[in-house]
Structure 1
């Protein structure tokens, strides 16, 4: 594994966790009402889903890479469009997402169920890894996949620690309860930017081959 691939994988895993989305909003809503301990239990359960969807995302990227660059470019284009669609929906939202406290009495099991059943987790994880690891697609093989996933796991843990620490701050808890709609719309802008980058990379790769 090259240094570039190592840091790209680490960054992709951390950004996948840190980029606001349904789990991000649920964590902040839970932490706002129950405190940092409940939030930590929630992300501990959710980590199981992160590992599952992250593994499937990397497997898809490696598999597409083995079949040729055109399919990898198509994957980047599709994921970019999907992220932009999610982003536009969030920007145009009239109410804050995730404000309802999810599983307040059982945060660990709630996080586990949330992580395993979130329908957006797989395409978003594919999109994030495609955007940041796509430049190293030529290095990705099935033999290297376990090592890449181990690096991604470290990224998941680091990002979860950062989120729990921030979500438990009194100032952040008060801000989220008062301005949840603003947070939701910032989520949308972030997704649109990542989607645009994914599409741009796919188009640039196709033009380079053409």
Structure 2
């Protein structure tokens, strides 16, 4: 496994874990209402869902690559379009009057497990994010690498959650997050659009008819 592929998988797991979404909003609400320990418990449970969805996404990506470059390129185009759509929605987001969900005070660990496993957007976002960042290294992917890829994505997710646990629970942090939530959301939208362009740039040439 090359250093560039290693860093790409680590970055994919990190970005997937730390990008603002329902889970991040929930943990900020839980942490502010019930403390850092409750927020950490929620994230530990939520990590199971991340492992499941990231592993499934990596299996789909490696499987598409093993089937053939065309299948991977099609997956890359679909992922790029999906990320572009998510990014465009985020860039055009408007401020919501609703507060971030607080989450239950009891059993945050089990709440995190259920939350992580039942998020309907988890799998497509995982596939799109990993495909966008791994598309330039698609030729290196094979089934023998799958355990290492899953482990690296897990480490990336742990790093993201370590940062979240470090800041969750502080009311000033939550206040700052809510004050700048719209700007953070739009910045993530721009990032997603960048990932989308990267995926499309690497996938579309492989689907073009060869004129040579």
Q: So what's the TM-score if we normalise by structure 2?
A: 0.87
Aligned to 1:78: 78
Equivalenced residue count is 210
From the superposition, tell whether residues 29 and 191 of structure 1 become closer, same or farther in structure 2 (CA, over 3 Å).
farther
Unpaired runs of 5+ residues, structure 1, are none
Taking the TM superposition and a 5 Å limit, the aligned residue runs for 1:51-200 are 51-96=51-96, 99-200=100-201
Whether the 8 Å contact between 1:28 and 1:39 is mirrored in structure 2 is yes
Aligned to 1:34: 34
Aligned to 1:50: 50
CA distance in 1, matches of 2:56, 2:99: 25
Shift in Å, 1:124:
0.7
Aligned to 2:12: 12
Whether the 8 Å contact between 2:39 and 2:165 is mirrored in structure 1 is yes
Whether the 8 Å contact between 1:26 and 1:98 is mirrored in structure 2 is no
Q: So what's the TM-score if we normalise by structure 1?
A: 0.88
Whether the 8 Å contact between 1:64 and 1:71 is mirrored in structure 2 is yes
Unpaired runs of 5+ residues, structure 2, are none
Whether the 8 Å contact between 1:43 and 1:111 is mirrored in structure 2 is yes
Partner secondary structure for residue 143 of structure 1: helix
Partner secondary structure for residue 11 of structure 1: helix
From the superposition, tell whether residues 107 and 137 of structure 1 become closer, same or farther in structure 2 (CA, over 3 Å).
same
